[in-house]
């Protein structure tokens, strides 16, 4: 009997009571951060080293893992502009200019530190594989690797709140592990409908010293959309969704 007890204790010590599944954790982070399909209102603020600020108000609609559109509501000079992302492909539509033009993930239609991929963000689990997961200061640290070369950042280091399963901080890195920018997730807010997530995302970058950009969510809720909403021909009609 004693030998049996010793064997069981040795077995339990050799294998942890549980092992964190990085893939499932990342998928849970995605769903806690955003519903699979939703609409949102948010403000983006670019802050320059001298304190000068420029603000944008946007309406967003997302469907599934790879479809998102953004409509600019303010300032007046940008009102009516829209962007569309289908997987790795992105377009910008400017009223009365002609057909939408292609843009890239690393460009920014608003300037500042946030790029187009940040503004039209997809699920992290759609673009990244989990290379490793560990515990850090009582929370989780996920090491992520981009699945393709078209993703804006080759690697991510994501600190995840262990209890809430939401990101706290993300470092965006090149393939050589050079830091491009850091995203900070702050001010958890109950948006209703079971959505409790950070209302504020701040970013800074060693490549843009003294500059900072802030994204503030005012409203986000689950909503279903038809596929036609996420087409080039529908871009001039996005105002009808509101």
Whole-number pLDDT of residue 228 = 97
Task: Say which CATH number the domain at 46 has.
Answer: 2.50.20.10
Range of the domain at 69: 22-241
Residue 34 lies in a domain: yes
* pLDDT in 10s for each residue of the chain, 242 residues: 555 444 444 434 443 444 789 999 999 999 999 999 999 999 999 999 999 999 999 999 999 989 999 999 999 999 999 999 999 999 999 998 889 999 999 999 999 999 999 999 999 999 999 999 999 888 999 999 999 998 999 999 999 999 999 999 999 999 999 999 999 999 999 999 999 999 999 999 999 999 999 999 999 999 999 999 999 999 999 999 99
Residue 172 lies in a domain: yes
Residue 1 lies in a domain: no
200 DSSP β-pair partners:
186, 216
Residue 16 lies in a domain: no
Whole-number pLDDT of residue 28 = 96
Residue 41 lies in a domain: yes
User: Does the CA dihedral 122-184-140-192 come out positive or negative?
Assistant: negative
* Domain count across the chain: 1
C-beta atoms surrounding 194 within 10 Å: 9
Mark residue 33 as left, alpha or beta (left: phi above 0; alpha: psi -120 to 50; beta: remaining).
Answer: alpha
Q: What is the pTM of this model?
A: 0.88
Distance from C-alpha of 43 to C-alpha of 66, rounded to nearest angstrom: 22
Distance from C-alpha of 60 to C-alpha of 40, rounded to nearest angstrom: 5
Contact (Cβ atoms closer than 8 angstroms) between residue 202 and residue 226: no
Whole-number pLDDT of residue 20 = 80
Residue 158 lies in a domain: yes
The CA-to-CA distance between both ends of the chain, in Å, stands at 70
Whole-number pLDDT of residue 7 = 41
Residue 30 lies in a domain: yes
Residue 168 lies in a domain: yes
């Amino acid at each position: 009997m004693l030998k049996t007890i010793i064997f069981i204790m040795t077995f339990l010590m050799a294998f942890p009571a549980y092992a964190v599944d990085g893939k499932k954790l990342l998928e849970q982070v995605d769903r806690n951060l955003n519903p699979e399909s939703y609409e949102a209102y948010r403000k983006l603020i670019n802050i320059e080293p001298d304190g000068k600020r420029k603000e944008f108000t946007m309406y967003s609609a997302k469907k599934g893992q790879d479809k998102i559109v953004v409509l600019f509501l303010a300032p007046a000079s940008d009102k009516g502009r829209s962007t569309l992302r289908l997987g790795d492909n992105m377009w910008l539509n400017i009223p009365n200019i002609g057909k939408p033009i292609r843009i890239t993930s690393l460009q920014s239609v608003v300037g500042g530190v946030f790029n187009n991929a940040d503004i039209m963000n997809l699920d992290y689990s759609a673009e990244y594989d989990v290379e490793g997961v560990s515990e850090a200061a009582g929370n989780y640290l996920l090491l992520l690797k981009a699945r393709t070369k078209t993703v804006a950042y080759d690697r991510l280091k994501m600190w995840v709140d262990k209890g809430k399963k939401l990101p706290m901080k993300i470092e965006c890195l090149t393939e050589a592990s050079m830091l491009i920018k850091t995203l900070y997730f702050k001010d958890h807010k109950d948006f209703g409908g079971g959505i409790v997530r950070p209302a504020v995302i701040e970013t800074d970058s060693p490549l843009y010293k003294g500059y900072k950009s802030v994204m503030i969510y005012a409203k986000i809720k689950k909503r279903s959309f038809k596929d036609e909403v996420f087409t080039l021909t529908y871009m001039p009609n996005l105002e009808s969704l509101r």
